[in-house]
Amino acid sequence: MSSLHYWRTQHQAEVDFVVKLGSGLLPVEVKSGRMDAPKIERSLRHFIDAYRPEEAWVVNRSLTENIQLNNTTVRFLPWYALMKQ
């Protein structure tokens, strides 16, 4: 079973969506601007450090790339790639 949430700390760091997939978590950040290179914002880094998910997604307008942050694969996906799923 899956459910949709958001995450915010007392210091206002936030992740746009957190999908609970069984016992795992998938943080999803949405960026409306064009991305030419992968960049992981501070809030997403904090989430990854705290919860150690297998994957994190950064949905954007243009960039397709995967990078590793610790043991988390951060996938940069253009929004239209999600429509093909």
* Per-residue pLDDT tens digits for 4-48: 998 898 888 899 999 998 889 999 999 998 899 999 999 999 999
**Structural domain for 50, as ranges:** 2-83
Query: For strand 65-69 and strand 24-30, is the pairing parallel, antiparallel, or unpaired?
Result: unpaired
Instruction: Count the domains in the chain.
Output: 1
Residue 65: how many CB atoms within 10 A of its CB? 13
- pTM for the model stands at 0.91
